[in-house]
Structure 1
């Protein structure tokens, strides 16, 4: 086998265990995906009914064996690296946070080991989250490995990475490190408006997979009136435009999405230096943010969500859990 040929033996089980979803990958000795699993067994469902830390740990261990037991049986001894809410205070074990600003290579030096009794005997390590301290603190957990993976592709480094979602993250970069980040609750507010607000009574149908004319209209309204009136006032226009026959009920959801994303992007760009922006999100959210950013003159690089597997591989290599390129001596620190 040539030196640069991929090694197909399994080397790492990589997990992104979020609040509402579980994603896992079996990676070979070159960090390439051999197999994958997706499930709705997020941390909330997994920990439901578990009142103590010991009960939660046992529940996570059972879910882990059910979802990944086949991989563990076929590849005994393969290390397991897990990011996401499994490392929170209501997860498998508490993995703590690293303060920013700081370099991302610090993630590998502060892994937390899950006791073998709670992991079916497997060697499981949890990745810490990132934290902004100060008067207005902020946190992320799980997005840090997406961020690291997004920076691994060798292209021109962006000045920021935007991670859309229920709680979107705007991450400012400084070379190989994180200068700071902010969380924006755009996705959650959008869901609440569509489900429980007066606008929900008007809306008909579901948003399409690509940005519609109604979404662009929302972007334009925010661009023209957002600074003067603010997004809370503009949201009410979704009602008055329908009342006056100038917006169809089937367009309400996309129009509201445009207002919210437009406002988020308008404010987010104020703290960024000039330069390209990477967007790492789902197939439905990335095109919306890309369009909003490009209409404000930014070059955008789209990064798939599954780049988390690449980020987990990078952490595993840096920690010496796998023999990747330039793998260092294994790191033995288990607590942040």
Structure 2
């Protein structure tokens, strides 16, 4: 086991992840909690961070590199944005120092698309892009990053040319909890109904204008013909993800494939969705991408 070199933190809206990283790049300690930006604002970001640093035994001199919502306007210290077209290397060059700390704490900026016809922002995903493609990527890439707010990013020669955010995960949560379809999915188990999901993806992709109608059919079909809560859940999810794919792949060369950055259940669902539409996928674990991106930032800032 190598000597600790720095601490890497992914600080989201509702989640907190910290890694104590050695000089060889190995993870020496890890912490996860639900103390995201919203929760951390009450006790204070510095206090939350310090409690986790103490838990992993991080020495006072160790620097900390942070990505995510801690750098938002409502976060710890606003880290701002790099504007598109945004070279990924520029993200590494604009880290903001958190003042008043005993150790060196830096927060990476996000990326903004200042286009009145398609305004958009990302914060945290730029670090995953760094981890997947590297700051000097030569090849073009279309990257799909699922989540509460899914990102589709077009990267050309290491530069983020454009991107689009889809509220797929948030819409799924609202529909499954707050509409008539809550009755249809009540009691669903964890198993994925693959046939129901793939059928919904295909239908939404091919006829996106009928998405609202397809969603109501989740309930009417269950009432008239039966079906499990899991099948209903997958039809909702498949409809929303199919819509996302229809937009994300529009005008893109699907034959070139998509880089998927995801974890857990989302990774499985999006892989199934791409397979349904015969789109080649290179899959990358989201946590691995984040840690690699933060490692690149640490190497650039502190020559670690």
Could you tell me the TM-score, scaled by structure 1's length? 0.84
Q: Deviations over 1:34-71 (max 9, x none)?
A: 211111111101114xxxxxxxxx70001011111244
Larger radius of gyration: 1
Higher relative contact order (CA 8 A, sep 6+): 1
Match runs of 1:57-136 below 5 Å: 59-71=44-56, 74-116=58-100, 119=101, 121-135=102-116, 136=118
- Aligned position for 1:327: none
Retained in 2: the 8 A contact 1:204–1:251?
no
- Aligned position for 2:223: 243
- Aligned position for 1:40: 34
Q: Give the whole-Å Cα distance in 2 for the aligned partners of 1:218 and 1:211.
A: 11
Q: Give the whole-Å Cα distance in 1 for the aligned partners of 2:58 and 2:138.
A: 39
**How far has the Cα of 1:210 moved from its partner?**
4.4
- Aligned position for 1:26: 20
**How far has the Cα of 1:277 moved from its partner?**
1.1
3-state DSSP of counterpart to 1:115: coil
Give the unaligned 5+ runs of structure 2: none
Q: Give the whole-Å Cα distance in 2 for the aligned partners of 1:109 and 1:154.
A: 13
3-state DSSP of counterpart to 2:265: coil
Could you tell me the TM-score, scaled by structure 2's length? 0.92
**How far has the Cα of 1:202 moved from its partner?**
2.2
Q: Give the whole-Å Cα distance in 1 for the aligned partners of 2:188 and 2:136.
A: 37
3-state DSSP of counterpart to 1:94: coil
Give the unaligned 5+ runs of structure 1: 1-6, 49-57, 324-336
Retained in 1: the 8 A contact 2:259–2:282?
yes
3-state DSSP of counterpart to 2:200: helix
Q: Give the whole-Å Cα distance in 2 for the aligned partners of 1:158 and 1:214.
A: 34
1:264 is matched with which residue: 244, 248, 252?
244
User: Bigger CA drift: 141-150 or 240-249?
Assistant: 240-249
Cα RMSD for the two superposed structures: 2.2
- Aligned position for 2:299: 317
CA 1:24/1:271 → structure 2, altered by over 3 Å: closer, same or farther? farther
**How far has the Cα of 1:200 moved from its partner?**
0.8
Retained in 2: the 8 A contact 1:105–1:315?
no
Aligned length, in residue pairs: 301
**How far has the Cα of 1:205 moved from its partner?**
2.4
- Aligned position for 1:298: 279
3-state DSSP of counterpart to 2:151: strand
Retained in 1: the 8 A contact 2:143–2:258?
yes
CA 1:213/1:34 → structure 2, altered by over 3 Å: closer, same or farther? same
Retained in 2: the 8 A contact 1:11–1:322?
no
CA 1:242/1:74 → structure 2, altered by over 3 Å: closer, same or farther? closer
- Aligned position for 1:174: 156
Q: Give the whole-Å Cα distance in 2 for the aligned partners of 1:312 and 1:125.
A: 11
Q: Deviations over 1:119-145 (max 9, x none)?
A: 4x1110000001100113100111111
Q: Give the whole-Å Cα distance in 1 for the aligned partners of 2:238 and 2:225.
A: 19
**How far has the Cα of 1:207 moved from its partner?**
5.6
Q: Does 1:162 align with 2:144?
A: yes
Retained in 1: the 8 A contact 2:202–2:277?
no
